[in-house]
Homo-oligomer: A and B are copies of this chain.
Amino acid sequence: MSSIKDVSRYAKVSPSTVSRVLNGTAPVNSETKKRVLKAVKKLNYQPNAFARGLVTNRSGSIGVIINEISSPFHSAIVQGIETVVEPTGMHLIVSSGHNKLQPERNALNFIVQRRPEALILRLETLSDKEFLDWLRSEPAQTLPIILLGRYIPELSKSCVCLDNELGGYLATKHLIDMGHKKIAHISGPLSMKDSCDRLQGYRRCLETSGLSYDETLVIEAKFTEESGQQAMQRFFDQGKDFSAVFIANDQMAMGALYTLRQLNKRVPEDISIVGYDDLLFARYLYPALTTIRQPLAAMGEAAARLALRALEHKTIDIKQKFEPELIQRQSVLRFA
């Protein structure tokens, strides 16, 4: 692969000059410039990003950690990040933590070794404590770090999040407002903060509305379509009595809808459903899913803006706290 030296030889100039025309860092005689460009084209020269990064100490990249690049939830976030990062000419290094502690640590180290100029982290398994310890270590001192979907008071300036407790509350409130009294819940993994918060909001709403919290009406599932299917099946296997279910994400809701159809239960006539996230597919389900909207792309964008703002030492205002919002569609019916 040709190097800057090859180009310089071909153009009969010094490597310094080649560098200057390529980066526009200093004026170069237009004749010389032409020769260099011709050589670059001729040799199909592509600068070595390693060498460049090593000397400039700028990688041009932003590190991103999410759970699973292939989930629709996370790809909505990545898409938001991409939207704002791409126009700047920087790029993303995204690594999956797979919702497991060691892989998440590995992802972090992996990315740090690539010397990103900023980090956008949606950490799932790393504890606040371990994360704060890491923050105090050297690698983290120098670069802007944005936390997505987690709020750590010490880092409030760098967190982008949404009040999931409120989201869970809103979902449940809507069902109660519609006259439902027996409201089940399919939660995500309770090892995840989001799940706990939504469950907590569900519980609080029940209790402040004079309904009692019944833990046998709660099943913990895994945020996947299939686990939603199974959870819903389990409610019926157990002969539970309920007229509505708040399901902690849309993917599980999609699975649950499927199970209900198998069981010949009509939604919303027999069972009302509220999902969470408002992923793209939610409106296309049948019945169109009533859900709590979480503006994932906008949150990704905000995180990216925050990161860029830190890099550019700007002081523009960026929204960091997002509100969950009830999106009413067709999966909830007033309880008669």
Once the chains are docked, how many angstroms separate the CA of A49 from the CA of B112? 9
Q: Is there contact, CB below 8 Å, between B261 and A281?
A: no
Q: Is there contact, CB below 8 Å, between B112 and A46?
A: yes
Q: What's the least CB distance linking A209 to chain B, in Å?
A: 31
Q: What's the least CB distance linking A133 to chain B, in Å?
A: 10
Q: Render A76-93 as a binary contact track against B, CB cut-off 8 A, 1 for contact.
A: 101100100010000101
Once the chains are docked, how many angstroms separate the CA of A77 from the CA of B257? 26
Q: Which residues of B contact A325 (CB under 8 A)?
A: none
Q: Is A1 an interface residue (CB 8 A)?
A: yes
How many residues in A have their beta carbons less than 8 Å from beta carbons of B?
52
Q: Is there contact, CB below 8 Å, between A48 and B82?
A: no
Q: Which of A46, A54, A82 has the most CB of B within 10 A?
A: A46
Once the chains are docked, how many angstroms separate the CA of A280 from the CA of B226? 10
Given B69, B82, B255, which contacts A82 in the complex, CB threshold below 8 Å?
A: B69
Closest partner residue, chain B, to A53 (CB atom): B50
- Known A54-B54, A280-B225: A47·B113 in contact at CB below 8 Å: yes
Q: Is there contact, CB below 8 Å, between A70 and B82?
A: yes
Closest partner residue, chain B, to A286 (CB atom): B286
Given B225, B261, B284, which contacts A254 in the complex, CB threshold below 8 Å?
A: B284
Q: Is A110 an interface residue (CB 8 A)?
A: yes
Q: Is there contact, CB below 8 Å, between B76 and A70?
A: yes
- Known A51-B54, A91-B95, A113-B49: A69·B59 in contact at CB below 8 Å: no
Q: Is there contact, CB below 8 Å, between B54 and A48?
A: yes
Interface residues of A in 134-154 (CB under 8 A from B): 137-139, 142
Once the chains are docked, how many angstroms separate the CA of A286 from the CA of B137? 52
Q: Which residues of B contact A182 (CB under 8 A)?
A: none
Q: What's the least CB distance linking A285 to chain B, in Å?
A: 7
Once the chains are docked, how many angstroms separate the CA of A49 from the CA of B51? 11
Q: Is there contact, CB below 8 Å, between A49 and B115?
A: yes
Q: Render A43-85 as a binary contact track against B, CB cut-off 8 A, 1 for contact.
A: 1101111110110000100000000111110011011001000
Q: Which residues of B contact A78 (CB under 8 A)?
A: 69-70
Once the chains are docked, how many angstroms separate the CA of A47 from the CA of B110? 10
Once the chains are docked, how many angstroms separate the CA of A44 from the CA of B142? 14
Q: Is there contact, CB below 8 Å, between A79 and B70?
A: yes
List, sorted by A's number, 26 A–B pairs whose CB atoms are closer than 8 Å: A1-B115, A43-B138, A44-B138, A46-B112, A47-B113, A48-B54, A49-B50, A49-B113, A50-B50, A50-B53, A50-B114, A50-B115, A51-B54, A54-B54, A69-B78, A70-B76, A70-B78, A70-B79, A93-B93, A94-B94, A225-B284, A255-B284, A258-B283, A281-B281, A285-B285, A285-B286
CB-CB nearest 9 A-B residue pairs: A70-B79, A286-B286, A44-B137, A70-B75, A49-B113, A50-B53, A50-B50, A50-B54, A254-B284
